[in-house]
Amino acid sequence: MEVAIFGKSFGEIFFNNCHQLFDYLHQKSIKIIIFKPFYEFLVEKVNLKPEVEGFFSTPEELPLVDMVFSIGGDGTFLQAVTFVRDTGIPVVGINSGRLGFLADISRHELPAALQEIEKGLYDVKNLSVLELTSPKKFIGDFNFALNELAVHKQDSSSMITIHVYLNNEFLNSYWADGLIVSTPTGSTAYSLSVGGPIMHPASQGLIITPIAPHNLTVRPLVVPDNMELTLKMEARGGKFLASLDSRSVVVDVETEIKIRKAAFTVNMVQRTNHSFYSTLRNKLMWGADKRN
């Protein structure tokens, strides 16, 4: 078995767990390819110099390993996806900090989870991805998002206007601070924080959620994920901010954006005793009431 390790920096609370992770991989003779900046962090800060087969620093250098271990939070998981891309390599999210929906293996669960993964006792979830296209290329060479695309006003004063079309038919003009187009995976992320609905991961839909809309009658909308969305922006300053997951860039207001469901999915490793419903109860505290 060969795995790739991707990560960023983390706090001292995870130092011992990180040693535990690499000790287990070495004990099981699992070959390791590691993200070079993360390896340097381990050597300098964690006092850990694991034995590895090689390094990668770009998506092109990532070999076709059996799995990618993402060590960090959900933001780190999203960055790991930009390396995995459409290869189909399953991603394991190991949480080195607090709350995590994608990085859902906590440090306390790590020993049991490693044993289950090594024995093949896990499920693989296929997560849908957004694809963004535009006549003006502005987001780099990976124009995909696992969670959401968000467009925002650039300054702190005036709103922007987002004209939205579904399969080239006009839907609505949103006067707001911005707009989010989210996958079911992203329904528990940014979209949720501004009042969007939670969607089951198996739902075949996209969520359109305005950010602080000027009209009280405007509400989030769920549309089928086989539809193509077109966004046309107006802004006084002539620019707006576009974000694909954790990657943001300032864009000219004349730039038109088209969004569709991508032709590939991201494969996420999930423990067999974990489910979407247990995540809602444990991480969103559904049903929690101190009176009970």
Catalytic residue numbers, as ranges: 74
d(C-alpha 69, C-alpha 3), whole Å: 7
Element (H, E) at 55: strand 54-56
Phi and psi of 77, rounded to 5°? -60, -45
Alpha carbon distance 239, 87 (integer Å): 34
Write out the two tokens for 96.
């080195």
Q: What spatial distance separates the first Cα and last Cα of the chain, rounded to whole Å? A: 47
Give me the DSSP letters along 151-212.
EEESSSSS-EEEEEEETTEEEEEEEESEEEEE-SGGGGTHHHHTTPPP--TT--EEEEEEES
